[in-house]
Structure 1
Amino acid sequence: MTGDISVGAEAAEVRRFWAGLGLPGLIDVHTHFMPERVLRKVWGYFDALGPLTGGLEWPITYRQEEAERAALLREFGVRAFTAMLYPHKPGMARWLNGWAADFAHRTPDCLHTATLYPEPGVDTYVREAIEAGARVFKAHVQVGAYDPADELLQPAWGLLAEAGVPTVIHCGSGPAPGKHTGPEPIKRVLARHPRLSLIVAHMGMPEYEEFLDLAERYAEVRLDTTMAFTDFSEGLMPFPRRVLPRLADLGDRVLLGTDFPNIPYPYVHQLDALERLGLGEPWLRAVCHDNAAELFGDLNG
């Protein structure tokens, strides 16, 4: 069961959503797959209401085993998804990248994901990951507690900008601020690497407007919808309705993200939350599929 709805019934609802838009399915750029012992620790952190959750009750809706979670996304009609994973200390990123490369090899509908951390040698393993076929990176400023403008990361950002490989970056101050969260560190990164492809996770909540500013200024800055607009987030960090016209105008650079499986509500609620914004079917088609299809190209590559 997922909340008050069975998995089968929810899958039918999800499929009705994208079929009604005339789409071949969904592309979700913010889903989490990582080594099981790491994921269990993440779930334990949520269960214990760790500081980075803002002290919020955060029940994990989808605690199935790895294969079951991937199968569930396919049942939902998710054509491509990611394995968002991230280090919280030095010496961890290369190992995670090795795991993610293997996961992508055995999971063809997962976009090969990699990560990074400000440490000596980061440029080497970022280059190795790109050459091995990584199609998206994940950076988590809040969990990693690092400045994304750290000098150690500059060569890596340069490599990613040159390769055109996007990075999904959790850099907003929600659900709990960190020393290096917020738009200012990202402004410093983009000032040095204006062609860097960044996908700001969670729409940058709660600094929505500041990250919209960056997306309007830099052509390769995008935003993902992860947890934004849902009842859970609107009760804590509501998206300002006065800027919905700006969100509509940026419809070509907003991508569906959900945080599956680490969400405290059914998957379909994220889709319902996007629909009730009232921005129209063309906007929904772009966000839920077409923008990511254009960004990543061949989804089977």
Structure 2
Amino acid sequence: MTEIIQTFDSIDRGYSLLYCDLWGCLHDGQCAFPEAVAALERFRARGGRVVLLTNSPRPGRDVAVQLEGLGAPRSCYDLIVSSGDAAQAAMAAGQFGRRVYHIGPERDLGFFRDDAGRPYDIERVPLGEAEGIVCTGLFDDRAETPADYRATILEGKIRGLRLLCANPDIVVDVGDLRIFCAGAIAAAYSEAGGQSYYFGKPHPPIYALARAKMAEMLGFETPADEILCLGDGIATDILGAMGEGLDALFVAGGLAAEETGTSRAAGPDPALLRTYLAAARLAPKLAIAYLR
């Protein structure tokens, strides 16, 4: 049975490490949520550590710059681990060839550079010359849908190109606008018979990277029963946490606000929440309306 809590401060003090999702939990793509920032700062003030675990295709260093612009201060987290971080290693190793076709906006070009700003030994080429596909998003996620990529998907599938998905999310909400992410392209590619490879939540690579980076920072590995995963994506954050054997706190007011009857004024509705989780066949330990 999933327990509904009102505030983050009411969680068991036995958790020493939080894996916190970003979009829909800490910010909405336009600005940070002040209550969420304050909740994370209070957790850190009492000795907890916060890893911002995000399916952003951007490397963690670029996510940090984005967060500063959104109003999320450095004081609310210890470390950022992104899907982009986890996927970069595979790309740099040549697992998708040295000549790749990039699907994604110009703002994601940092994916092709290392932490020192040096370009990887990877060349971006037209689809007809590519040895693999790297998808960080849609070219224009405000106007396009996966249907606009039918020809690209068909050609890639026919040529047997493997697709690296740098962000497994299907959709995110930017303010009141819901937009498609790289995960939607990867899903369409798989449905067409192509091979898609994922590195972010709910898949293991991002969790392995988070554990390794935190162990390096702390000098020891945090026991699994001291880690709590927080997120609003039932098929990413919650499924990933449970797949890793970690406790999860579901933020009902994110992507599933309508389905769970959650608003800033009230919710989640217990009956609607039970129905939603039963349909997903997942049972996170805790649920909250918003991170606060």
Normalising by structure 1, we get a TM-score of 0.33
Higher Rg of the two aligned structures: 2
Normalising by structure 2, we get a TM-score of 0.34
